Homo-oligomer: A and B are copies of this chain.
Amino acid sequence: MNQQDMQQYIENCTQYHATCIATIQHCLGMGGRHASRDHIRLMADCAQICRTSADFMIRGSDLHPLTCGVCAEVCQRCADDCEQMSGADATMKRCAEICRRCAESCRQMAHAHA
């Protein structure tokens, strides 16, 4: 495993964990579909699995491909959801971008060690 890839992966998950938590507050302020149960739940799921998967990697766990695989799938769904709400909303657009980058990073990590 490449040390630089791992570091990048940890940073992507860590950044998206924080972005999710901050964006939940933005979405609650917007109301409507942004503040729906399904969307807030998906972002909360995403924040937590990003944190868990990053922590597995930081510990050097050989089980990280399992959490990376789940993280990739949760992030993909979250990115799609955020993108559909983007429109003129720069916060959602940025959230979707960071999420998509994180999903990509997780997919690579999951496959490199499957």
Closest to A26 in B: B37
Hey, which chain B residues are within 8 Å of A77, CB to CB? 63
* A14 adjacent to chain B (CB < 8 Å): yes
Hey, which chain B residues are within 8 Å of A21, CB to CB? 55, 58-59
Interface size on A, residues (CB 8 A): 37
Instruction: Name the interface residues of A40-65: CB closer than 8 Å to any CB of B.
Output: 40-42, 44-45, 48-49, 51-52, 54-56, 58-61, 63
B58 to A66, Cβ gap below 8 A?
A: no
* A73 adjacent to chain B (CB < 8 Å): yes
Contact A35:B28 (CB < 8 A) given known A55-B21, A59-B22: yes
